[in-house]
Structure 1
Amino acid sequence: MLETIGINPAELAASETLLKLLISTALLITVVVVVRALSARYIRRNVASMELRRRWLVHSRNGLLLFMLLGLIIIWGEELRTLALSVVAIAVAFVVATKELILCVTGSILKAGAGSFNIGDRIQVKDFRGDVIDQSLLATTILEVGPGKLTHQRTGRMIVIPNALFVAEPVINESYTHDYVLHVFTIPFKRTANWQAAQQALLASANEHCASYLAEAKRYLKRLNEYRGLDAPSVEPRITLQMPSAEEVHLVVRIPVLTDRRSSIEQSILSEVFSQQEFSGAKEKALEQEGSAPTG
């Protein structure tokens, strides 16, 4: 009867199937959008810590995005399988054209599986160094810290790193201990300078600045290393010597500090020590004074 009025039953069934798929897709997207809005509202109202709030917002967004992708795959799975049988050649070309995007997704899976870093950690990849503020399936966003690898102040610039970089490059996580870290900075001296006095002054200043939280840092790092199955390192401030050349001596200062106070403690120690005494050339002056002193 349908054929007599010019309607093909097969086309009608296909139209009904397509309509059901579109309705299911619209319902899925609506549910995800509503849940996203409600969860973001709940997190902003009930999570006091700014860092924890940002972390939960990113995780909830990524989780809902993954849920939506899985839902779309389930809804359109049969149609996708049917379509895949006829587009093998196109798929190969598509893979070649989207190689970078595939590498980004692979890098995202790799860093998530390895637990390389979390929101708020300070990382370095190649020449990019900063604090992680966002992660997505394709890219990781950091606030740049620098300049160079030895300073700990933000430059005010934001860097978006494609996750493909994590497939081929090692990631340095400077915040893997989270609350407390062992912070290291180097001070160069000439061999003729009075670096021994500088070594004593730096050690005394480091002990003074770290005294208020040293016991807590010891407990925290010991507990963390026991959890990871590692030997607990010595936490007390220490200064070691390096001699990169015959004319130079480097004093390597290592101190335990709160993660967000690395730069301030380092600058406080340097300002205190070098504002009170001049160390360069002290040995030369002493030798000159001894040579000019009257004999006999």
Structure 2
Amino acid sequence: MFDTLQKWLENLPVSAEVIESVLMIAAVLALRGIFLGAYFRSHPELEIEEKRRSVVFSRNLTLVVTLMGLAMVWAAQIQTLALSMFAVAAAFVLATKELIMCVSGSILRLATKQYSVGDYIEINGLRGRVVDINLLNTLMMQLGPHPSVGQLSGQTVSFPNSLLLSHPVRRDNILGSYVIHTVEIPVPVHLDSDAVVNALKAVLNPLCLPYVEEIARHLEAVQAEKLFITPAAQPRITRVPHDDKVYHVVVRFASPVYRRLEIQQAVLDEFMRVQYRLLNALSPA
């Protein structure tokens, strides 16, 4: 039967490699649809983020498998052209340097597991939540516009994966469903730091207290699993001198990812109220 199929392919007006390529691509796409549909049906409780990760992973895996399959189908032709196309290949590499760097950055991300769909990251001044990843670029929903505002702006921003080779990546939710969040508040130097810090502690501590023990246990588990030192779960407020006009109050706390913005805003609101009262107390009657 295989010999008959091979003879039939040889008698067709198009080359066997073209037909094999078309059949292989169709088979890979069909298998992807079958396995993805079966996975979703067997896991109906999956959240949209998990489904999105599965779709992105299957799409990228399908692309890699297809490229490898095409390379195997056309191996003989590629080998024949290799020697005669050396000079062209060198020019092609120079012309597609940025493309190669993007693919290299994508390989680096996969190897180091820097981030995935749903993570909050910052790179080269761009901050956002990752919504899509492919071999060439990463798409994320932008956070902002102010650095202290962690809400989604409703705009998307993409960057080439080549940035991963030359810029550090900051990932907020490295601890899973919890986050260690820090906000730095500039305070006029003539305002009483004790009054500011005590007022902020009175707001911060009750908001964080329900999660401290739970987060502490989670951090211990992460430390044992990944073998790196994790920060403390207790909230802290530190005063740092800056210059002759302002000092900085650094507020650091641990919370679930979905509550960090609410806690941060409560602290900032209280600071604005305290600053207003202190400035009015210092102003002449």
TM-score, normalisation: structure 2: 0.88
CA 1:249–1:223: 2 relative to 1, 3 Å: same
Cα distance in 1 between the residues matched to 2:275 and 2:206: 17
Q: Of 108, 125, 142, which aligns to 1:110?
A: 108
- 1:112-161 superposed Cα distances (whole Å, 9 cap, x missing partner): 11211111111111121111111111111111111243320111111121
Q: Of 212, 216, 231, which aligns to 2:214?
A: 216
Decide whether the 8 Å contact of 1:43 with 1:53 is kept in 2. Answer: no
Q: Determine the structure 1 residue equivalent to 2:181.
A: 183
Q: Determine the structure 2 residue equivalent to 1:294.
A: none
**For structure 1, which segment, 233-242 or 262-271, has the greater mean C-alpha deviation from structure 2 after superposition?**
262-271
Q: Match of 1:143, SS? A: strand
- 1:264-289 superposed Cα distances (whole Å, 9 cap, x missing partner): 2211233356447844336736xx79
TM-score, normalisation: structure 1: 0.85
Cα distance in 2 between the residues matched to 1:41 and 1:98: 36
Cα distance in 2 between the residues matched to 1:274 and 1:159: 32
Q: Match of 1:57, SS? A: helix
Q: Determine the structure 2 residue equivalent to 1:137.
A: 135
Cα distance in 2 between the residues matched to 1:206 and 1:183: 12
Q: Determine the structure 2 residue equivalent to 1:30.
A: 26
Q: Match of 1:280, SS? A: helix
CA 1:17–1:114: 2 relative to 1, 3 Å: farther
Q: Match of 2:204, SS? A: helix
Q: Of 63, 84, 87, which aligns to 2:85?
A: 87
Which residue type is aligned with residue 181 of structure 2? H
**For structure 1, which segment, 65-74 or 146-155, has the greater mean C-alpha deviation from structure 2 after superposition?**
146-155
Gaps of 5+ in 1: 1-12, 290-296
1:196 aligns with 2:194: yes
> How far is the alpha carbon of 1:17 from its aligned partner?
11
**For structure 1, which segment, 236-245 or 225-234, has the greater mean C-alpha deviation from structure 2 after superposition?**
225-234
Which residue type is aligned with residue 173 of structure 1? R
Which residue type is aligned with residue 33 of structure 1? L
Cα distance in 1 between the residues matched to 2:226 and 2:155: 34
- 1:191-233 superposed Cα distances (whole Å, 9 cap, x missing partner): 2213311201111211101122221111111211222222342
> How far is the alpha carbon of 1:15 from its aligned partner?
7.3
Gaps of 5+ in 2: 1-8
Identity of aligned residues (%): 33
Q: Determine the structure 1 residue equivalent to 2:155.
A: 157
> How far is the alpha carbon of 1:40 from its aligned partner?
3.6
Cα distance in 2 between the residues matched to 1:183 and 1:177: 11
Decide whether the 8 Å contact of 1:197 with 1:279 is kept in 2. Answer: no
Q: Match of 2:203, SS? A: helix
Q: Match of 2:33, SS? A: helix
1:19 aligns with 2:15: yes
Q: Determine the structure 2 residue equivalent to 1:7.
A: none
CA 1:94–1:17: 2 relative to 1, 3 Å: farther
Tell me the matched-pair count.
275
> How far is the alpha carbon of 1:97 from its aligned partner?
1.3
Q: Match of 2:15, SS? A: helix
Tell me which stretches of 4 or more aligned residues in structure 1 moved more than 6 Å.
Answer: 13-18
> How far is the alpha carbon of 1:69 from its aligned partner?
0.8
